[in-house]
């Protein structure tokens, strides 16, 4: 009887010892892990930190992005281009790209001369060096700078081969026939490239929120016509143009569905405006945008023929920003023009 009891007790002791030993071992290992690493491990971690571009080491990298990623593939008009995260120095030859980078607070090292907008540079950065114009690069200045990346848009697209021989070149031209999705993708890509994904998302939310607010006002408020005034000349644009967002994004019906799809618009006369009789006019003053002296769009349109249109009679004329011509699809262009359109439609009688 005593022997059997002892055997039973010994068996039970074994049963309890095993999980206790396992638990103690786990605790011991955890304590070692928490207590610290060996000097060799510390050195390895330090080397890894030096190799990765982090928010502490580089001002353009945000804490939200995976710092272990050191390069990225960007889809461009010319195909995929592989670049290191947060390349520097960088040169940018496109005003839309400059706007988005300024909004993301990314420093630019080289830009074109003769720009007419004042929202093309991050407030905290020094003035970039001038490396040509938006149409013609200064190859000598570029070679001297040795940029890690060159970003271009449609105006510089024909110089792609010359530029790409100097540094990886990203042709990030916006698709004017689908300006919203194209500009959204580009802002996303810039955020990823410069470690600013959270910031890019916030900027896109600003745009989308204003689009929703504006669409709620434009619904069932009449048709519209986008007209550019260039000196005394007029041209109109349809839904596949850089100004097509008025129709495709905001839902304002086109007064004339047969407008020709042309880069510089379809030339028209004042009689055309009187005949089509739009409820709304969306006006771009090209001369003012590029700094040319002229009478101005308001003066040019103030004539007896235009005065017969519903848009003029009801003061339903919206003057779009110079950005809509020079930096279409950029963050500040969206915000300025959406605000102007929203304000006009909120005041409609």
User: Which tens digits make up the pLDDT trace of 231-266?
Assistant: 999 999 999 999 999 999 999 999 999 998 888 899
Q: pLDDT tens digits, residue range 8-28?
A: 333 333 333 333 333 333 433
pLDDT at 35 (0 to 100): 39
Specify whether the CB–CB gap between 328 and 243 falls below 8 A. Answer: yes
Closest alpha carbon to 122 in 109, 110, 104: 104
Q: What angle do CA 230, 236, 240 make, to 5 degrees?
A: 125
Residue 229, helix vs strand vs coil: strand
- Low-confidence stretches of the chain (pLDDT < 50) are 1-67
- pLDDT score, position 238: 96
Question: Would you tell me how many other CB atoms lie within 10 Å of the CB of residue 263?
Answer: 9
Note the pLDDT of residue 43.
41
pLDDT for the residue 237: 97
DSSP-derived pairing of the beta strands 233-237 and 224-230: antiparallel
DSSP state of 109: S
301-315 core/surface letters (b: 16 or more CB in 10 A; e: else):
beeeebeebebbeee
- This prediction has a pTM of 0.80
Q: Is 16 left (phi over 0), alpha (psi -120 to 50) or beta?
A: alpha
Tokens read off for 236: 């109109």
Give just the sign of the alpha carbon dihedral 106, 110, 112, 116. Answer: positive
- Count CA atoms within 13 Å of residue 43 on its CB side: 3
Both tokens of 266, joined, read: 């379809």
């Amino acid at each position: 009887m005593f022997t059997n009891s002892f055997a039973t007790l010994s068996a039970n002791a074994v049963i309890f010892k095993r999980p206790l030993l396992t638990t103690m071992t786990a605790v011991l290992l955890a304590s070692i892990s928490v207590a610290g690493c060996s000097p060799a491990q510390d050195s390895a971690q330090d080397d890894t930190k030096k190799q990765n571009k982090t928010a502490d080491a580089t001002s353009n990298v945000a804490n939200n992005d995976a710092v272990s990623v050191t390069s990225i593939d960007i889809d461009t008009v010319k195909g995929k281009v592989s670049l290191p995260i947060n390349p520097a120095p960088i040169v940018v030859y496109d005003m839309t790209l400059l706007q988005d980078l300024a909004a993301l607070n990314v420093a630019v090292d080289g830009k074109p001369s003769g720009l007419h907008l004042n929202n093309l540079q991050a407030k905290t950065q020094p003035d970039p060096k001038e490396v040509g114009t938006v149409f013609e690069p200064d190859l000598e200045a570029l070679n001297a700078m040795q940029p890690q990346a060159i970003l271009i848009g449609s105006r510089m697209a024909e110089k792609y081969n010359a530029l790409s021989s100097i540094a990886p070149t990203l042709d990030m031209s916006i698709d004017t026939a689908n300006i919203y999705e194209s500009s959204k993708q580009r802002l996303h890509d810039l955020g990823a490239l410069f470690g600013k994904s959270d910031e890019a998302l916030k900027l896109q939310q600003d745009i989308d929120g204003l689009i929703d607010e504006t669409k709620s006002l434009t619904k069932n408020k009449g048709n519209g016509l986008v007209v550019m005034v260039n000196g005394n000349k007029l041209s109109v644009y349809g839904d596949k143009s850089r100004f097509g967002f008025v129709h495709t994004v905001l839902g304002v019906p086109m007064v004339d569905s047969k407008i020709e799809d042309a880069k510089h618009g379809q030339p028209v006369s004042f009689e055309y405006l009187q005949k089509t009789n739009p409820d709304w006019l969306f006006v771009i003053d090209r001369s003012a945008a590029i700094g040319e002296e002229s009478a101005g769009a308001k003066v040019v349109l103030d004539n007896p023929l235009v005065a017969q249109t519903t848009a003029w009679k009801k003061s339903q004329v919206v003057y779009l920003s110079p950005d809509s011509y020079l930096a279409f699809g950029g963050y500040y262009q969206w915000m300025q023009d959406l605000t102007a359109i929203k304000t006009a439609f909120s005041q409609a009688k």
